[in-house]
């Protein structure tokens, strides 16, 4: 039987997730307690546990929401660009760098969650979300590859080339390994990615 959530239940969940997202971004995952989320959201402990089960349950939903927002931003840059797919890939690279730089605390929370044991223990919803956006990326890229507008490379490698370096640069910046923000590398990274994926003349 499908459970239909009432508007009050939706409002309660939204209040909890909004409050938790702010707290996690400001303080980090480990520094936030259920009591903090309760106080910031105005929702009782009982309601929080009813909807999410635990603090980790709240964090998982926030993490998935953050990943969905990030991937939507990146893939939308591809899908919105008409014409040469190489230019669309360049737009996607720039979009990922700009998003990470504009949302450093939110992106740092995603990095923290990605390396946590509880995320690995709840891999199924994360994998399902990744698969959803992988399919969107493949649906965009396959026609271009078949038409010879992109180099015929394994799609997983294409995704790694387009999205992997920007995440590495953001992580290095957020952890203090490099002083330059991600967009500092935009032109050079676009050049490297597009040269690797441009079809041979």
Based on the fold, state whether residues 21 and 83 are members of the same structural domain.
no
Residues 6, 87 within the same domain: no
Q: Is the pLDDT of residue 90 over 90?
A: yes
Cβ neighbours for 72, distance < 8 A, ≥ 6 positions apart: 133
User: Domain check: are 41 and 115 in the same one?
Assistant: no
Question: Radius of gyration over alpha carbons of the chain, in Å?
Answer: 19
Domain co-membership, 47 together with 67:
no
Residues 105 and 135 in one domain: yes
pTM of the entire structure? 0.84
Question: Per the structure block, which two tokens stand in for 53?
Answer: 């089960």
Do residue 6 and residue 42 come from a single domain?
Answer: yes
Whole-angstrom Cα distance, residue 26 to residue 46? 24
Q: How confident is the model at residue 123 (pLDDT cuts 50, 70, 90)?
A: confident
Q: Which of residues 13, 32, 53 is at a domain's end?
A: 53
Final residue before a domain boundary, out of 32, 53, 74:
53
Range of the domain at 3: 1-53
Asked whether residue 96 carries a pLDDT value surpassing 90, the answer given is yes
Domain assignment present for 154: yes
Task: Give the CATH number for residue 91.
Answer: 1.10.357.10
Query: 85 and 148: one domain?
Result: yes
The residue-averaged pLDDT of 151-159 equals 84
Whether 71 and 106 share a structural domain: yes
Indicate if 120 and 170 belong to the same structural domain: yes
Contact 109, 70 (CB under 8 A): no
What is the C-alpha separation between 26 and 18, in angstroms, rounded? 13
Q: Does residue 58 lie within any of the structural domains?
A: no
Quick check: 173 and 180 in contact, CB under 8 A? yes
Contact (Cβ atoms closer than 8 angstroms) between residue 33 and residue 92: no
pLDDT at position 2:
37
- Which pLDDT tens digit goes with each residue over 45-56? 999 999 999 898
Q: How many domains does the chain have?
A: 2
**Residue 186 predicted with pLDDT over 70:** yes
| 48 & 115 share domain | no
Supply the mean pLDDT for the chain.
89
CA–CA distance, 52 with 19 (Å, rounded to integer): 14
Judge if 2 and 39 occupy the same domain: yes
CATH of the domain at 43: 1.10.10.60
Residue that is written with structure tokens 């938790």 in the block: 20
33 and 75 housed in the same domain? no
- Residue 110 burial by CB count (10 A; 0-12/13-18/19+): exposed, middle or buried? buried
CB 95 within 8 A of CB 73: yes
């Amino acid at each position: 039987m499908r459970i239909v959530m009432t508007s009050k239940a939706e409002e309660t969940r939204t209040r909890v997730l909004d409050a938790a997202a702010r707290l996690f971004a400001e303080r980090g995952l480990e520094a936030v307690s259920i009591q903090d989320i309760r106080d910031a959201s105005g929702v009782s402990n009982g309601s929080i546990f009813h909807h999410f089960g635990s603090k980790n349950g709240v964090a998982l939903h926030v993490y998935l929401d953050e990943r969905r927002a990030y991937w939507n931003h990146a893939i939308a840059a591809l899908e919105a660009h008409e014409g040469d797919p190489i230019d669309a890939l360049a737009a996607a690279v720039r979009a990922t760098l700009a998003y990470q730089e504009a949302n450093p605390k939110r992106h740092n929370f995603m990095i923290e969650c990605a390396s946590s044991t509880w995320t690995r223990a709840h891999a199924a919803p994360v994998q399902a979300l990744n698969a959803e956006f992988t399919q969107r990326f493949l649906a965009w890229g396959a026609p271009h590859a078949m038409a010879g507008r992109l180099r015929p490379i394994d799609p997983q490698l294409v995704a790694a080339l387009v999205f992997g370096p920007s995440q590495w640069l953001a992580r290095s910046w957020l952890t203090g390994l490099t002083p330059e923000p991600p967009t500092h590398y935009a032109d050079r990274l676009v050049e490297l990615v597009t040269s690797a994926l441009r079809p041979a003349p």
